[in-house]
Chain A
Amino acid sequence: MKFRVFIGILFLLLQVGSITYARFIPERFFSWAPYDSHTKFEVRVTIDGETLTTEETVARYQYKMKGWEQRSIYNIISLISQYEYTYSKNENAKVIMTYTTNGDEEKTWKFEHE
């Protein structure tokens, strides 16, 4: 088999692996799952008792923080968590996300540094 075909098949198999892996985690990155859930959500961030505006929150995570999310809401949870665990380790940030997926009951996700 030619080397380039082998690389191509390997690349495709990586995606197969990613699709399979997505079955065991709530996030849906690199698994060809766009528009599979629709979630209305809002994120509020408080640092040292001061709540950020929506614009400041968007600037913080560089992603929309209010409105409709067309992919898994856990993509956003993953994004926020990773930010807080890495770039914001020393800030006393508290994050609250309220969300409802596909018209289901409203849920709340919270993040707080220990």
Chain B
Amino acid sequence: MSSVLTLIFRLFQFEGTKLHPNVLLMCKLFVILLTSHHIFYKIADPFIPFIPALDTFNDYPNVFKFILRTVYACSAFALMFNIKVRTASIITGLVVILSMIASKPLFSNHTFICGCALFLAGLTNEKEPPYLLIFQLSLVYFGASINKFLDPDWWSGAFMDTWLGSARENPVYLYVSELLPELIFAKLLSYIAMLTEFAVAVLILFKKTRNLTIWFIIIFHTTLFTLTAFRFGHFTESLAIVLLAFLSVPKEQLIINFKVQSQNNLKRFFTFIDLDKKQTWSPLSSENSFWLRLKTKNKIVYNHDALRDIILYTPNFFMIILIIDMAMYVVLYNHRIVLFALNVLFVWTVIIYYLPKHWFERNKT
């Protein structure tokens, strides 16, 4: 029984493997995301494949499908339970990509990014930053921006007007467009999108601008979601998950001191979800002016600064967020406006809570 429990706990553990804990988190979240979007059942025999030679498998029905499904199930299992994580990540990513290569109708960018990130994650290690994932993200935005720059309909606003005006009949877009000369708002949105994507593609490559770029990405996509109520398949979630790979999680134990009177529930919550036992919680004396302190090798932070970091350094917090997000989608499937409102409220609250306060403090002085 205890060995079964130990195995189950590994689902929620991220330390001690050949991957950075946050990269492993990214991989596990991708497996959950892909599986919940039925990738297992989408894997099928070749149908209109990109490589015509794959049609040969159709002479042996179900062989391709069953082999690929079995490989996916095994590699996803290994990844989720911390068994040969790098190999499992590479194989899972390759299965996802191969399933799309075997079927043009199955191709989607939001699935492709998952496959690419999983494959490249498996080529990283726990010693160096995940440079390959940084380059991958840059490539995504570079491809997107180049394509737009070379399309006259993006410069004229025609695409934006067709998408938001005709296809989605977006009320915000229609209202604002009425107030401005024809296509001005469409052009403005187009130019912002193009420039943002190109800026992200370039700035994410440099360490100095990486954090700022990540904020760009978060705010850009959140604004897009707020304006359109659309996640582009699961592209928005996929991008958010990839960004987890860029977290700088301390390697050493996190020493957390807390005021028992007010923060006991906080301590119980984080202790419960910290299955890596990376956090050491000790009570503070009541004379202290602060209610929370986090000490790592490089810094000591207090109160909300400490809480923000503790959240970021607790991988299972993000597992919980993803599962709640998926559960909300199921529960509120027939109440899309409520679901949208809750999503927007949650995401913007988190953004405002995490906005680097020192940006504004610097401007004040």
State whether A4 and B123 are in contact (beta carbons under 8 Å apart), knowing that A29-B50, A82-B104 are contacts in the complex: yes
- Judge whether A32 and B139 touch: CB under 8 Å: yes
Across the two chains, which residue of chain B brings its CB closest to A4?
B123
CA distance A104 to B154 in the complex (A): 13
- Judge whether B162 and A102 touch: CB under 8 Å: yes
A64, chain B: closest CB distance, angstroms: 9
> Quick one: CB contact mask for B96-126 with A, threshold 8 Å, 1 for yes?
0000000111011110100010011001000
- Judge whether B123 and A102 touch: CB under 8 Å: no
Residue A90, interface by CB 8 Å: no
Residue B235, interface by CB 8 Å: yes
A residues in contact with B235, CB < 8 Å = 34
| Segment at the interface with A among B145-153, B205-213, B266-274, B310-318 | B145-153
A residues in contact with B356, CB < 8 Å = none
- Judge whether B159 and A37 touch: CB under 8 Å: yes
Q: Which of A28, A79, A87 contacts B104 (CB 8 A)?
A: A79
Residue B132, interface by CB 8 Å: yes
> Quick one: CB contact mask for B258-298 with A, threshold 8 Å, 1 for yes?
00000000000000000000000000000000000000000
- Judge whether B48 and A102 touch: CB under 8 Å: no
- Judge whether B159 and A7 touch: CB under 8 Å: no
| Size bin of chain B's contact surface | 35 or more
B137, chain A: closest CB distance, angstroms: 11
B227, chain A: closest CB distance, angstroms: 13
> Quick one: CB contact mask for A12-45 with B, threshold 8 Å, 1 for yes?
1001100100110000111111111110100000
CA distance A12 to B205 in the complex (A): 14
State whether A12 and B139 are in contact (beta carbons under 8 Å apart), knowing that A29-B107, A103-B166 are contacts in the complex: yes
| Size bin of chain A's contact surface | 35 or more
Q: Which of B136, B139, B140, B147 contacts A22 (CB 8 A)?
A: B147
Counting chain B CB atoms within 10 Å of each CB, the highest count among A19, A28, A102 belongs to A102
- Judge whether B105 and A31 touch: CB under 8 Å: no
**A contacts, CB < 8 Å to B:** 4-5, 7-9, 11-12, 15-16, 19, 22-23, 28-38, 40, 61-63, 68, 70-71, 75, 78-79, 82-83, 86-87, 101-104
Of the A-B pairs whose beta carbons lie under 8 Å apart in the complex, a sample of 19, sorted by A's number, is A8-B120, A9-B135, A11-B116, A12-B135, A12-B139, A32-B142, A34-B110, A34-B232, A34-B235, A36-B154, A37-B151, A37-B159, A38-B159, A62-B48, A63-B105, A68-B167, A70-B232, A75-B104, A79-B48
Cβ-closest 4 pairs across A and B = A32-B143, A33-B147, A34-B109, A63-B105
